[in-house]
A = this chain, B = another copy of it.
Amino acid sequence: MPSFIKERLHKGYAQSMELSGKPLVDEKSQYQRIKIFDTVANGRVMTLDDIVQITTRDESAYAEMLTHLPLLEHGKAQRVMVVGGGDLSIADEALKHKGVKEVVLVDIDGQVVERCREHFAEINAKAFKDKRLTIEIADAFEYLGRPASKGRFDLIVADRPDPVGPGKALFGETFYDRVRNALKPGGFATFQTGVPFYQPWEITDALKELAEFFPQSGLYLTVVPSYIGGFMALSWAGKGKRLGTPAGLKRAAAAYKRAKLKTDYYNPAIHAACFALPEWIKRLVP
């Protein structure tokens, strides 16, 4: 009899993925229940507290859009921080940029990082070997508040989980204030901002708060099938230029070509298109 893993993140809705074998990991860390398993339709999958975090089939749609988009527009980013991101998918994309000298990944759960090292080598084997990567097992919220973090990063990617469990501190005003403090002038931050079809309030809350703390901010979209609900909202904030201006798009397209990036989702046309919002999403923007 086939065995299914069911995700019930949203009220009144569930998705189920059929396992193609026995679970590879099923254990409790200090913070959460970690499961890793192979599926019939979605590749290898990790859930935390039974919520899908990453699948090998669609992680590119998430990691590439949070990373390449600001890095290519920035053009000169050297220091990147990843908030969370224990599977290293974001770090892996950032390290593809030769100009990047340092990626600091701060995840609270060392056990997630270890299990992902063992079972997601397809995504992160290269990153684990890269000397530019530092992994800090720490509370990213606390890390951002350290004096040493002040003005240190050109890009901060908030690969935060849903605003439940240990990820709760990575939403809200104090978090955005700390991100701003840790950014260099001209730097960008990008944030996972929920699936608007089932979590519409996340856009409204995040954009309202970002506008309070940053001179520039906005919304863009990606589509990650296993983050169920169609579009996923990503938000950005910055201390210098806006993202997505004609000049920024032109700069990014040239940088993409020069860097010979191999991507599965991102390309310059998608970069230009991702700022277009359907009417129903536009109405959620405060």
Residues of A in contact with B (beta carbons under 8 Å apart):
4, 6, 10-18, 20, 39-42, 57-58, 60-61, 197-198, 223-225, 228-231, 263-267, 269-270, 272-280, 282
User: In the complex this chain forms, how many copies of it are found?
Assistant: 2
Give A105 Cβ to nearest chain B Cβ, in Å: 25
Considering the chains assembled together, what is the distance between the CA atoms of A263 and B197 in angstroms? Answer: 16
Minimal beta-carbon separation of A38 from chain B (angstroms): 11
Interchain CB contact (< 8 A) of A13 among B11, B17, B224, B230? B17
Q: CA A60 – CA B197 in complex, angstroms?
A: 13
Quote the shortest CB–CB distance from A89 to chain B (angstroms).
Answer: 15
Cα separation A11 to B42 with both chains bound (whole Å): 10
Instruction: List B contacts of A225 (CB < 8 A).
Output: 197, 228-230
Q: How far is the CA of A13 from the CA of B57 in the complex (A)?
A: 13
Q: How far is the CA of A279 from the CA of B16 in the complex (A)?
A: 26
A276 touches B280 (CB 8 A): no
Docked-complex contact A14 and B13, CB < 8 angstroms? no
- Given A41-B198, A197-B225, A14 and B15 contact (CB-CB distance below 8 Å): yes
| A10 and B41 within 8 A (CB) | yes
In the complex, which residues of chain B have a beta carbon less than 8 angstroms from the beta carbon of A267? 276, 278-279, 282
What's the least CB distance linking A20 to chain B, in Å?
Answer: 8
Residue on B with the closest CB to A197? B225
- List B contacts of A12 (CB < 8 A): 17-18, 20, 39-42
CA distance A13 to B216 in the complex (A): 40
Min distance, Cβ A8 to any Cβ of chain B, angstroms: 9
Given contact pairs A41-B11, A231-B223, A276 touches B269 in the complex (Cβ within 8 A): yes
List the B side residues contacting A4 at CB < 8 Å. 14
A263 & B276 in contact (Cβ 8 Å cutoff): no
User: Which residues from B are CB-within-8-Å of A60?
Assistant: 280
A160 to B18, CA, bound (A): 28
Q: What chain B residues lie within 8 Å of A58 (beta carbons)?
A: 197, 230
CA distance A13 to B273 in the complex (A): 29
Given A263-B279, A265-B278, 20 more A-B residue pairs with CB atoms under 8 Å apart are A10-B41, A11-B18, A11-B40, A12-B20, A12-B39, A13-B18, A13-B40, A13-B41, A14-B18, A15-B228, A60-B280, A61-B278, A223-B230, A266-B279, A267-B276, A267-B279, A269-B275, A270-B276, A272-B273, A272-B276
Instruction: Provide the residues of chain B in CB contact with A41, threshold 8 Å.
Output: 10-13, 198
The docked-state distance in angstroms from the alpha carbon of A64 to that of B127 is: 43
Specify which chain B residues have a CB less than 8 angstroms from the CB of A275 in the assembled complex. 269
In the bound complex, CA of A18 to CA of B15 (Å)? 12
| Residue of B whose beta carbon sits closest to that of A57 | B197
